[in-house]
Amino acid sequence: MQRFAGVFGLFVVCFAVGYSYLRYTTDSFSINRDPAAIRTNFDFSNLTGDSLHEAVKQRLVAGFEMKRSADGMGLGLGHFVFRDDAGEKKLACQEFGKVTMTFEAEGVSVGGDKPTMEIEGRCEYSNDMTKINPLYLPVAKILNEKPGDGEFNFNEGHAVTVRFANLPEDWPRTWLLKSVKLNNEQKNKSVTVESDEVARYMGHPLVLTF
């Protein structure tokens, strides 16, 4: 009888520990996808119209982050919460599936046109939900290719498409951020931060150097 009681007691303890762990991880899973869990100062669900557009654009650009590695760099943006057209509270990357950053080469032109670089990838938010996960630009691989207009597809962890236009014979090494765009292709809906707005919100030019 005592042996049975001991086994039963051990079962109860294991069950309790297992249940607590499952509940903890389940709650964490839910919270990580709950717009209410994001920081209040990045929650724009109380804004509408021009006030919302201004806050969203400023947040995207002000949250820009560059992480360099030996072979390339990751380019991230600020994330936020808003209310969609149906009044539902959403995370930006729940509404917009793609993020695009467009750069223009400095000090170079071809036939009067400046070279451009467009980086496009999936909109995915970080663990703390305040950042859009960086799009990885494999600079070393790009520089090993012969310069030419066209499209490159990379899969360094997350798929990224890089498009170049008006390239000279040698790769430009200095690029200026000109625009940022979030896009929902299914709803034909987008948020775009234009060139003059990028400079205004950041207070200074944002330059990448290869």
142 shares a domain with 88: yes
168 shares a domain with 106: yes
Does residue 106 form part of some domain?
yes
Distance CA 121, CA 82 (A): 21
51 shares a domain with 3: no
Distance CA 106, CA 180 (A): 18
Total residues found in the chain within this entry: 210
Tell me: pLDDT of 7 over 50.
Answer: no
pTM of the model: 0.81
Distance CA 69, CA 139 (A): 10
20 shares a domain with 85: no
Distance CA 75, CA 55 (A): 20
Which residues 6+ apart lie within 8 Å of 209 measured at CB?
173, 174, 175
Does residue 37 form part of some domain?
no
Which token pair is 184?
């929902």
Q: What is the pLDDT of residue 87?
A: 93
Residue % of the chain over a pLDDT of 70: 81
| Confidence at 41, pLDDT banded by 50, 70, 90 | confident
Which residues 6+ apart lie within 8 Å of 175 measured at CB?
103, 104, 105, 106, 117, 207, 208, 209, 210
Tell me: pLDDT of 171 over 90.
Answer: yes
Q: What is the pLDDT of residue 34?
A: 57
Does residue 36 form part of some domain?
no
pLDDT in tens, 86-145: 999 999 999 999 999 999 999 999 999 999 999 999 999 988 889 999 999 999 999 999
Distance CA 78, CA 80 (A): 7
C-alpha closest to that of 162 among 178, 149, 180? 149
Among the residue ranges 34-48, 123-137, 170-184, the one predicted with the least confidence is 34-48
Q: Give yes or no for a contact between 63 and 76, defined as CB atoms under 8 angstroms apart.
A: yes
Distance CA 126, CA 119 (A): 19
Mean pLDDT of the chain: 84
Tell me: pLDDT of 11 over 50.
Answer: no
DSSP states of 24-62: HHHHHHHHTT-GGGS-GGGB-TT--HHHHHHHHHHHHHH
Q: Give yes or no for a contact between 99 and 121, defined as CB atoms under 8 angstroms apart.
A: yes
| Confidence at 14, pLDDT banded by 50, 70, 90 | very low
Q: Give yes or no for a contact between 132 and 77, defined as CB atoms under 8 angstroms apart.
A: yes
Domain that holds residue 17: 1-31
Measured distance between the N- and C-terminal CA atoms of the chain, rounded to whole angstroms: 75
Tell me: pLDDT of 52 over 60.
Answer: yes
Number of domains into which the chain is organized? 2
68 shares a domain with 144: yes
136 shares a domain with 98: yes
